[in-house]
Every structure is written in C-alpha cells, then in structure tokens.
Amino acid sequence: MKRIRIYGAGGHSQVIRKVLELSNILVTDTFDDKPETAHNAYDNSTIEGGVRNDMDSFPHDGDPVIIAVGNNFQRAEIAQFLKSDFEKAIHPSAIIAENAEVGVGTVVFAGAIIQPNTKVGEHVIINTAASIDHDNIIGDYAHISPKAALCGHVEVGEGSHVGVGAVVIPKIKIGKWCTIGAGTVVIRDIPDYATVVGNPGRIIKIGNPFHL
Ligand SMILES: CC(=O)SCCNC(=O)CCNC(=O)[C@H](O)C(C)(C)COP(=O)(O)OP(=O)(O)OC[C@H]1O[C@@H](n2cnc3c(N)ncnc32)[C@H](O)[C@@H]1OP(=O)(O)O
C-alpha cells in the first residue's frame, strides 16, 4: 500500500484525506504548524508540530508529503522549507486527459476535469468540479476553486487564486499571485498581483502580497 504524510490538518486537509482513502493510500503522519488548534475528523492520531519554527527537527526523510494548506502563500513557503519528496492526490472521479500533465504536490478533487495539452504545475489545488480546458498552463501554487471554468489556452500564473465559480474566456493570461473573486468573469489579461472582481472582471487592487 502506498504511504503518504500530510502537512496541514485543517478543512482542506480533510478533503485530501478522503481522496487518499479512496485511492487506497495510507496516511502515516499528520503535521500542522498549530497542532493544538488543528482538527482531524478522520482518526484520533496525534498531529505533530510543523517545521516552520524548527526546520532541523522535521523528519524530511521518509514517506512523501502532501502540503494540505489552502493558502497559496503558506503552501509555497512550506514547499521551500521541506526537503522531502512530494506526492499528488487525484480523486478517482476526476477526469484528466492522457496527455495532460499534473505536477508533484498537486491535488485534484472530485469531479474536476483537466482537458488535453494542459499543464498543471506543482503544489496546485484543482478544487471540486473545476473545469480546466485544453491547452491551459496553471502555475505552481495556484488554486482553481470549486466550479471555476477556464476555457481553452488560458494561463494562470504562479500562486494565483481563481475564486469559486469564476469564468475565464479563451486565451486569457492571468499573472502571478492574482486573486480572481468568486463568480468573476475574466475577459481581459490580468497583470501580476491584481485582485479582480465582477462581470466583466475589473481590477480593484494591485499589490505584491509579499511586500504588503
Ligand atoms: C472549498 C473552498 O472554500 S475554496 C475557497 C474559494 N474562495 C473564494 O472563491 C473566495 C474568493 N474571494 C472573494 O471573492 C473576495 O471577495 C475577494 C478576495 C475578491 C475580495 O476580498 P477583499 O479584498 O476583502 O475585498 P472587499 O470585500 O473589501 O470588497 C471590495 C469591493 O469588491 C466587491 N467584491 C468583492 N468580492 C466580489 C466578488 N466576488 N464579486 C463582485 N464584487 C466583489 C465588494 O462588494 C467591494 O465593492 P465596493 O468597494 O463597491 O463596496
């Protein structure tokens, strides 16, 4: 039986655990940066402290890790710290074209669809019933939320979050570390670090989140 360790024990982690359970993958350890407040609805196993305050003592070697942290910045930060191997988790009901690529550390949830020639980076979240059509490029640490629909030839930059139910028309390029609001309809290219809302999508702020 394949074995895996999970870093993160909140709600997002619970969804990942269900995917792993259905895929017959055993969770051997769970870590969280705040184990005292983390919840773990699937068993009573101990949640161990994280690495961020004590990088040296984290057991980097061992079973591969999935970073089960929904916040894109935090997931990216943890990925830089860990020297472990990473795994992906793909729900059995997800439909992924044979020639689509999905990077390590990435999770694909129930009912998601990834069409031909699409490349999904590392540590990405493709959330429940998200639809990613042909020839997309989804950058590392991005999050495509539930029921978001990306048409053909869309690019989503590193760390960008496409909100629940957002729609992106064909050939649009969304920059890195952008936030696309819930239900937004994106009809123009979006520059790096922009927050966009509404239909048609309009930029309400631009700011590098690492410098705020
Ligand atoms: C399983 C899961 O849970 S996956 C998680 C998925 N999560 C999401 O999809 C959440 C997406 N987040 C949003 O849509 C948020 O509203 C954000 C990030 C776009 C904006 O958040 P904030 O920066 O806090 O903006 P704030 O709430 O102050 O709103 C600013 C303005 O934008 C408007 N606005 C905010 N979000 C939206 C939206 N989705 N659509 C239309 N207008 C919006 C507000 O009404 C407000 O307008 P006003 O200035 O005229 O009053």
The CATH code of the domain that includes 173 is 2.160.10.10
pLDDT the model gives residue 49:
72
- My answer on whether 49 and 97 are in the same domain is no
Q: Quick check: CB of 165 below 6 Å from ligand 1? A: no
pLDDT the model gives residue 39:
63
| pLDDT mean for each 10 residues of the chain (212 residues) | 93 96 94 74 63 76 94 94 94 98 98 98 98 98 98 98 98 98 98 98 88 51
First-residue to last-residue Cα distance in the chain? 44
In a domain, 208, yes or no: no
Q: Which residue CA neighbors atom 33 of ligand 1 most closely?
A: 197
Give, for 102, the enclosing helix (H) or strand (E): strand 101-102
pTM, 2 dp: 0.95
pLDDT the model gives residue 181:
98
Ligand 1 pocket test target in 69, 197, 203, 212 with most atoms within 8 Å of CB: 197
- My answer on whether 53 and 121 are in the same domain is no
The residue segments making up the domain with residue 127 are 89-203
- My answer on whether 152 and 189 are in the same domain is yes
pLDDT the model gives residue 40:
55
Q: How many domains is the chain built from?
A: 2
Domain stop point among 47, 81, 115: 81
Q: Quick check: CB of 160 below 6 Å from ligand 1? A: no
Q: Quick check: CB of 13 below 6 Å from ligand 1? A: no
Name which of 136, 133, 109, 99 is nearest 121 in CA terms.
136
Bridge partners for 66 per DSSP: 6
Residues marked active site are found at 134
- My answer on whether 120 and 182 are in the same domain is yes
pLDDT the model gives residue 138:
99
pLDDT the model gives residue 165:
98
In a domain, 210, yes or no: no
In a domain, 189, yes or no: yes
Q: Quick check: CB of 145 below 6 Å from ligand 1? A: yes
- Phi and psi of 47, rounded to 5°? -100, 120
| Rounded alpha-carbon distances, angstroms, from residue 181 to 70, 152, 164, 166, 185 | 16, 20, 8, 7, 9
CA of 155 to the centre of ligand 1 (A): 22
- My answer on whether 48 and 95 are in the same domain is no
Total residue count of the chain as it appears in this document:
212
- My answer on whether 120 and 59 are in the same domain is no
pLDDT the model gives residue 186:
98
Nearest ligand 1 atom, CA 163? 9
Q: Which residues does the annotation place in the binding site for substrate?
A: 70
